[in-house]
Amino acid sequence: TPLLTTRFLGRQFIYEQELVSTNRSALELAEAGCPAGLIVVAETQSGGRGRMTRSWFSPPGRNLYFSFVLRPSIEPAMVPQLALLAALSLRRALLEQCPSWPLKCKWPNDLWADGRKISGILCEMNCRDMKTSHVVVGIGVNVNVSREELPPELRDSAGSLCQLAGRALPRADILAAILNHFESDYNQWLADGGLTAFLDEWRSASVLDNCAVKVEQNGQLHQGVARGITPEGFLRLEQADGSIRTIHAGDVHVLR
């Protein structure tokens, strides 16, 4: 059986030993008119980027760094939902490798296991005339990086699949599984025009629900208890007075 069973996602493939950032390359290709579904994969990134202007640790030969181009006809406001969708697809694809991994999604778009970050997703878009012309979904997965290979400042916060499995894992199989899952989820999401079909799954996948958290949004700090997401994919934060504040973007820290 073929690894990749998608119709369009990953059918055009660019694979490089080193790129500055697969997101950057995919954005340039999208700008130049490449077809939807094109994927850019690199063995290492010299300037891998994360959310909030952070960098993404990208050692060669160990992990997955890839970005693909989508061209959905949707309102720009719906684009952030793609990151949540991708986090769910990713989690399901990885659970196929090992159903007992304690993988959890952390709003808006991370994957965690045992208190360590395994994967991050960065969606970037370009809109013209208030219409989305293209979206790049970039995913980094720590697959085979060992704890010793992590820089000291990441050792307590980052993990990898091989640390969960106790053995090296096949990156190509994992990549194909992610693309297979994402394509069918994406089709469902487009058909429904939103996350409706995924809200139950998010509830069981989320690491934050009912946790005391603090969130930074636009430089403002909000504290409360995470109470799931809205149908639009926003975080619901229950505040001290019982009211719910919806958080559209930001960085969430669990309080202990």
What's the closest the beta carbon of residue 32 comes to ligand BTN, in angstroms? 18
- Among the listed ranges 85-93, 134-142, 157-165, 197-205, the one in contact with ligand BTN (CB under 6 A) is 134-142
Identified binder of ligand BTN from the candidate list 138, 224, 233, 250, rule CB under 6 A = 138
- What is the rounded distance in angstroms from the CA atom of residue 160 to the CA atom of residue 8? 29
Q: From the centroid of its chain, how far is CA 223?
A: 24
Phi, psi torsion values for 14, nearest 5 degrees:
-120, 125
Identified binder of ligand BTN from the candidate list 6, 9, 23, 234, rule CB under 6 A = 23
Place of tokens 């013209």: 128
AA identity, residue 53: T
Identified binder of ligand BTN from the candidate list 78, 121, 125, 164, rule CB under 6 A = 121
Which residue number, 10 or 120, has a Cβ lying nearer to ligand BTN? Answer: 120
Phi, psi torsion values for 218, nearest 5 degrees:
50, 45
Of 54, 30, 69, 24, the residue nearest 42 (C-alpha) = 24
Place of tokens 């952030």: 80
Identified binder of ligand BTN from the candidate list 6, 67, 132, 180, rule CB under 6 A = 67
| Per CB under 6 A, 65 contacts ligand BTN | yes
- Among the listed ranges 119-127, 168-176, 197-205, 215-223, the one in contact with ligand BTN (CB under 6 A) is 119-127
Residue nearest to ligand BTN (CB): 120
Which residue number, 118 or 226, has a Cβ lying nearer to ligand BTN? Answer: 118
Identified binder of ligand BTN from the candidate list 51, 71, 214, 227, rule CB under 6 A = 51
Contact 138, 120 (CB under 8 A): no
Identified binder of ligand BTN from the candidate list 3, 34, 44, 50, rule CB under 6 A = 50
Which residue number, 54 or 203, has a Cβ lying nearer to ligand BTN? Answer: 54
| Per CB under 6 A, 45 contacts ligand BTN | yes
The beta strands (E) that lie in the chain are given as 13-19, 39-45, 64-70, 103-106, 110-113, 116-128, 131-141, 212-217, 220-229, 235-238, 244-247, 251-254
- What is the rounded distance in angstroms from the CA atom of residue 27 to the CA atom of residue 134? 8
Identified binder of ligand BTN from the candidate list 10, 29, 49, 237, rule CB under 6 A = 49
The 3-state DSSP class for residue 254 equals strand
Residues near ligand BTN, by CB under 6 A: 21-23, 45, 48-51, 54, 56, 65-67, 110, 120-122, 138-140
